[in-house]
Amino acid sequence: MRKTLKSPVLAPFAALALVASAVAQRPNVPAPVISPEVTADRQVTFRVLAPKAESVRLAGSDLPGIGQGKDMAKGTNNVWEVTLGPLPPGSYRYHFNVDGVAVLDPRNPRTSESNENSWSLVHVPGADWQDTLDVPHGAVAQVTYWSSTLKKFRRLHVYTPPGYEAGTEKYPVFYLLHGAFDSDNSWSTVGRAGIILDNLIAAGKAKPMVVVMPHGHTGPFRMGGAGLSGEFEPEFVADILPLIEKRYRVHTDRTQRALAGLSMGGGHTLNIGIPHLHKFAYLGVFSSGVFGIVPRPGAPAPQGPGFEERHQAILDDAKLKEGLKLFWFATGKDDFLVETTRATVEMFKRHKFDVVYRETDGAHTWDKWREYLHEFAPQLFR
């Protein structure tokens, strides 16, 4: 039964609304356009009020079938609209392109950060494993810290499982890294990491664990710029790992540490995990591999052989490999990095690593990365 107070409580707020709308210095509030609207059959309608626009398009990094964007049609009241679907269940980042300007949905409070911009975010329910269900929920915290490596303030996200905040037990810890078009916020928004873990833990399919989601860029994402300069890896080792092990109740032995990432974060995983193999018993590489192992036209000289040579001693250390309980790769058949993944897997197999490689359908998109997380997390800390 829904409990409500009686009308004497309602009217004062109505008075406030009247007063506020008349007096407060607020920008004009647009007419109550509904956007996005998700129906039970997973049709999604996007709408934006744009009275003077000549062209409005819907754009999204992972929206199926819209390519570089989809034209929206101008309807009554200057509202442009387009309907997609039925869409596969999942979360999608999108924005509108209004006469060349990238516009977040003014009617949708939910956003998902990239390194240098934000997207609007819509969730299409229909897949229990990534929907918000009535199970015990963990918490996803933002933590600000001073990076002694980078000499600046940094932020990371931490998932704590249900029961953490009132309990006393120690948990295993899983470091989960994002890609080049993301930030530390991405796994918790479009990636739904907290929700996926909640559901796995509630079903007894994954061990309760702390999941740490750092920010992998160290500056703007430019070719050769700070974000890709190799600054993140030493920061991870010198700042992030000690910070987490000091401020959270986590186990600190190798068997209780996992590390995985997608795309750029898969590269980070290999660049951190292999030189520090004694620290991690579980490594996951999603849609990624050793960058440069496959030469590409126009790209700088391949660095794959460099990676192998630099880490020769570790790659051939049988005892280190013995302690690596899971070395898991997954990439879609249509992913532009599938050859990189294959070559990387082959390299590790050459060095007698017991690699698990899942080549799935799909491409370089968040639907796959949510699936990979859902498949990888249950295998940890067993």
Which residues are bridge partners to 359 per DSSP?
Answer: 331
Q: Residues for the chain: how many in total?
A: 382
Residue 41: count other Cβ atoms within 10 Å of its Cβ: 9
| Closest CB 339 distance from a copy of itself, rounded Å | 10
Instruction: Quote the strand ranges of 189-325, DSSP E.
Output: 210-213, 257-262, 282-286
Spatial distance between the Cα atoms of 344 and 279, rounded to a whole number of angstroms: 21
8-47 binders of a copy of itself (CB under 8 A): 8-20, 22-28, 30, 32
Count of residues that bind a copy of itself according to CB under 8 A: 130
> If we measure between CA atoms, which residue out of 364, 372, 355, 354 comes closest to residue 333?
364
| Closest CB 3 distance from a copy of itself, rounded Å | 4
241-270 binders of a copy of itself (CB under 8 A): 246-249, 263-264, 267
Between CA 272 and CA 117, with CA 230 as vertex, the angle to 5 degrees is 105
Sign of CA dihedral 231, 342, 200, 172: negative
Question: Which part of the chain contacts a copy of itself (CB under 8 A), choosing from 109-117, 253-261, 315-323, 341-349?
Answer: 109-117
Q: Pick from 364, 368, 370, 374: which binds a copy of itself (CB under 8 A)? A: 364
Work out whether 118 is an interface residue with a copy of itself (CB under 8 A): yes
Q: Pick from 39, 86, 88, 139: which binds a copy of itself (CB under 8 A)? A: 139
Nearer to a copy of itself, 38 or 356 (CB): 38
State whether residue 98 is helix, strand or coil.
strand
| DSSP states along 122-190 | EEE---GGGS--SS---EEEEEEEEETTTTEEEEEEEEE-TTTTT----B-EEEEE--TT--TTGGGTT
335-354 binders of a copy of itself (CB under 8 A): 336-337
Nearer to a copy of itself, 130 or 263 (CB): 263
Question: Which part of the chain contacts a copy of itself (CB under 8 A), choosing from 38-46, 134-142, 311-319, 374-382?
Answer: 134-142
Nearer to a copy of itself, 95 or 374 (CB): 95
Q: Pick from 79, 91, 115, 261: which binds a copy of itself (CB under 8 A)? A: 115
What x-and-dash track marks residues 169-208 binding a copy of itself by CB under 8 A? Answer: -----------xx-x----x-----xx-------------
Spatial distance between the Cα atoms of 257 and 262, rounded to a whole number of angstroms: 18
| Closest CB 45 distance from a copy of itself, rounded Å | 17
Spatial distance between the Cα atoms of 196 and 320, rounded to a whole number of angstroms: 31
Nearer to a copy of itself, 291 or 381 (CB): 291
Nearer to a copy of itself, 298 or 318 (CB): 298
Phi, psi angles (nearest 5°) of residue 327: -125, 100
Nearer to a copy of itself, 10 or 203 (CB): 10
56-95 binders of a copy of itself (CB under 8 A): 59-61, 67-69, 78, 95
| CB of 239 closer than 8 Å to CB of 148 | yes
State whether residue 378 is helix, strand or coil.
helix
Between CA 350 and CA 278, with CA 317 as vertex, the angle to 5 degrees is 115
> If we measure between CA atoms, which residue out of 259, 265, 236, 268 comes closest to residue 381?
259
Which residues are bridge partners to 124 per DSSP?
Answer: 90
Q: Pick from 71, 128, 165, 354: which binds a copy of itself (CB under 8 A)? A: 165
278-337 binders of a copy of itself (CB under 8 A): 290-292, 296, 298-304, 306-307, 310, 336-337
Nearer to a copy of itself, 218 or 280 (CB): 218
Nearer to a copy of itself, 53 or 326 (CB): 53
Q: Which residues contact 280 (CB under 8 A, 6 or more apart)?
A: 254, 257, 258, 259, 273, 324
